[in-house]
């Protein structure tokens, strides 16, 4: 399953507490030479009377800030990136009634389970606005940047989805990429772009690409922990051999892939096993 990002939400939403997390996993080991994704709550002062915010450990806070922290060999932080979630309104010279421009910038990050690599996606959207309405989109972009443990950007890709997946050591990355949008598509908020699932290595070299066809799109890509196998929506693939398998099963269910190349479509059951993991029923299976 992919990470879900934490954002400012209404008071009823529950946010995970302050923690150092690696991908989907909390980390409590040696931080020397590692990357960490840190979540820090921003508290209200005693004199403030908040009406909205997020719940953090049973307490209402303004927001939960996220930082990607790069730790040196001595265990001390030598670089930090605070993830942006910005919204800014400026006056514009656009034709009436659009007298303002709204700029939204958001960043989303994941860190490999080993803490060796990180990925940050930045989205930028600029929209013409009137006093009580939103007009055409003037600019829309998304950029993925891949970092090493020293905080260096090794490579980047444009026109990507905000969902991406990393192998356990971060040496392989699965992205959903889109064809570059025309200005007409952007302004009309059209959703007729082609999309692809692409897997890259740590140097940014393309290892595998899945094109579903001219009238189809890819919405997600997941890799096995070892990065040798993947699934794009329901299309199962082996990265190095470029073998592809499209399941014959057409019913409902979720696609999973493991390190042995076992691709399954399952449904989740209400029962849990002894370790608290939700049980599944296999509806379709294929092995590479």
- pLDDT value at position 132? 80
Residue whose entry in the numeric block shows the structure tokens 């997020």: 54
| 76-102 pLDDT per residue, tens | 999 999 999 999 999 888 888 888 999
Confidence of residue 8 (pLDDT cuts 50, 70, 90): very low
Give the list of residues 6+ apart from residue 255 with CB closer than 8 angstroms, or none.
222, 231, 233, 234, 236, 247, 263, 264, 265
Residue, of 279 and 12, whose pLDDT is higher: 279
- Residue 234: its pLDDT value, please? 92
Provide the pLDDT for residue 19. 41
Which of 196, 288, 199 lies closest to 247 in space, CA to CA? 288
Burial class from Cβ neighbours inside 10 Å (0-12, 13-18, 19+) for residue 7 reads middle
| Cis bond upstream, residue 284 (ω within 30) | no
Quote the CA–CA distance of 130 and 91 in Å, as a whole number: 10
Q: Which helix (H) or strand (E) holds 49?
A: none
Q: Where are the domains of the chain?
A: 1-82, 84-287
Q: In what order do the strands lie in the sheet with 85-91?
A: 85-91, 100-111, 118-130, 133-147, 153-158
CB 35 within 8 A of CB 15: no
The yes-or-no verdict on residue 42 having pLDDT over 90 is no
pLDDT of res. 189: 58
Mean pLDDT of 48-60: 74
Other residues' Cβ atoms within 10 Å of the Cβ of residue 36:
20
Beta bridge partners of 126: 103, 139
Closest CA to 124 of 181, 175, 174, 69: 181
Confidence of residue 156 (pLDDT cuts 50, 70, 90): very high
pLDDT in the model for residue 191:
60
Q: What is the pLDDT of residue 23?
A: 42
- Better-predicted residue by pLDDT, 133 or 243: 243
For residues 36 and 26, what is the distance between their CA atoms, to the nearest angstrom?
10
Name the residue with higher pLDDT: 252 or 180: 252
Structure tokens at 272: 């849990």
């Amino acid at each position: 399953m992919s990470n879900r990002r934490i954002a400012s939400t209404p008071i009823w939403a529950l946010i995970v507490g302050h923690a150092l997390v690696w991908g989907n996993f909390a980390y409590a080991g040696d931080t020397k030479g590692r990357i960490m994704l840190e979540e820090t709550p921003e508290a209200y002062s005693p004199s403030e009377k908040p009406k909205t915010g997020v719940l953090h450990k049973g307490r209402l806070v303004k927001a939960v800030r996220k930082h990607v922290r790069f730790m040196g060999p001595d265990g001390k932080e030598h670089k930090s990136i605070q993830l942006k979630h910005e919204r800014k309104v400026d006056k514009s010279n656009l034709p009436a009634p659009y007298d303002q421009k709204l700029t939204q910038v958001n960043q989303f990050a994941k860190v490999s389970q080993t803490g060796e690599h990180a990925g940050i996606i930045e989205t930028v959207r600029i929209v013409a606005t009137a006093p009580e309405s939103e007009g055409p989109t003037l600019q829309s972009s998304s950029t993925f940047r891949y970092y090493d443990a020293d905080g260096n950007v090794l490579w980047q890709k444009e026109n990507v989805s905000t969902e991406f997946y990393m192998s356990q050591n971060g040496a392989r990355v699965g992205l959903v990429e889109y064809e570059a949008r025309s200005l007409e598509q952007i302004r009309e908020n059209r959703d007729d772009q082609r999309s692809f699932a692409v897997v890259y290595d740590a140097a940014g070299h393309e290892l595998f690409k899945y094109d579903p066809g001219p009238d189809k799109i890819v919405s997600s890509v997941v890799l096995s922990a070892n990065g040798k196998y993947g699934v794009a929506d329901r299309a199962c693939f082996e990265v190095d051999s470029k073998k592809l398998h499209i399941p014959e099963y057409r019913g409902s269910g979720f696609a999973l892939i493991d390190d042995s190349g076992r691709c399954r479509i399952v449904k989740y059951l209400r029962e849990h096993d002894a370790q608290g993991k939700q049980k599944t029923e296999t509806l379709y299976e294929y092995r590479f």
